[in-house]
Amino acid sequence: MPQKSPIDGASRTDVPGPATAELPTAAPGLRERRRRQTRTEISQAALRLFQEYGVDATTVDGIANAAGISQRTFFRYFTSKEEAALPAHQDFDAALEAGLLTIDPSGNPREELERVYQQVMQGYADNDAPQARSMLLVNQLIRKEPLLKAALLKHNATRTTGLVDALMDRFGRDGVSDLQIRLAFETCAAVVRVAFEVWVTRREAGRDDNLPDIYASARQLAH
């Protein structure tokens, strides 16, 4: 069973931590750094086990044991084993939400949102950087694992509501229609999704294309 398998730094697969590609912020305190480190270690353990055994055969107990924590501690960070694979996407969304604060309320919603996405994408320009490696690995697993794909869809549904509300607040609920904001978000999100899929496909084929360049090309084609 997965929980009996030794998982350490010398394991077959080196799983990068989900580093955050967000805008500069104040340095976190010691307690927050420890919380982030624990979250990263749990996610790394989950990804290693998912790679080795598959999602179905991996248990929360197995992930907890591999991370050196209790089940109780696991559930303080994640609600399910599938969610433990998603910190890379959660960090991407956190960076996006921070970027929304730079939006010009007098600008075009779609153009402003595209600019923010492009800015966040720059954190993944280096394919060898931890955040790029982690995002690539997670998306490779999602393509193969229906349970992870379902977890990401659920995450995206929740995220969409929050981000659309944030956009509405930024542009002023009386100045821009909800239809315009929703269309801007969904259009941009579709281009981002395609950019991620093409990036994963090209990297698996051995190409060195990076995510921000692919996204920039996808934006041009979408226009």
pLDDT tens profile 128-137? 999 999 999 9
Going from the first residue of the chain to its last (223 residues), give the mean pLDDT of each consecutive group of 10, the final group possibly shorter: 39 48 58 92 96 96 97 96 96 93 92 96 95 94 95 92 91 83 94 96 95 96 92
The closest of 85, 5, 3 to 39, measured between CA atoms, is 85
The alpha-carbon radius of gyration of the chain (Å, integer) is 18
The number of beta carbons lying within 10 Å of the beta carbon of residue 203 is 19
pLDDT for position 219: 95
pLDDT for position 13: 44
Q: What are phi and psi of 71, to 5 degrees?
A: -60, -40
pLDDT for position 17: 52
pLDDT for position 172: 82
Count CA within 13 A, CB hemisphere, residue 85.
Answer: 30
Residue ranges in the chain assigned as alpha helix (H): 30-53, 60-67, 71-77, 87-99, 109-121, 130-144, 146-171, 178-204, 211-222
What are the structure tokens assigned to 130, written together?
Answer: 């931890």
90, 82 in Cβ contact below 8 A?
no
* Long-range contacts of the stretch 215-219 (C-beta < 8 A, 24+): 215/117, 215/118, 215/121, 215/191, 216/118, 218/191, 218/194, 219/114, 219/118, 219/191
Q: Convert the pLDDT of each residue in 31-66 to its tens digit.
A: 888 999 999 999 999 999 999 999 999 999 999 999
Cα(26)–Cα(77) distance, rounded to whole angstroms?
A: 22
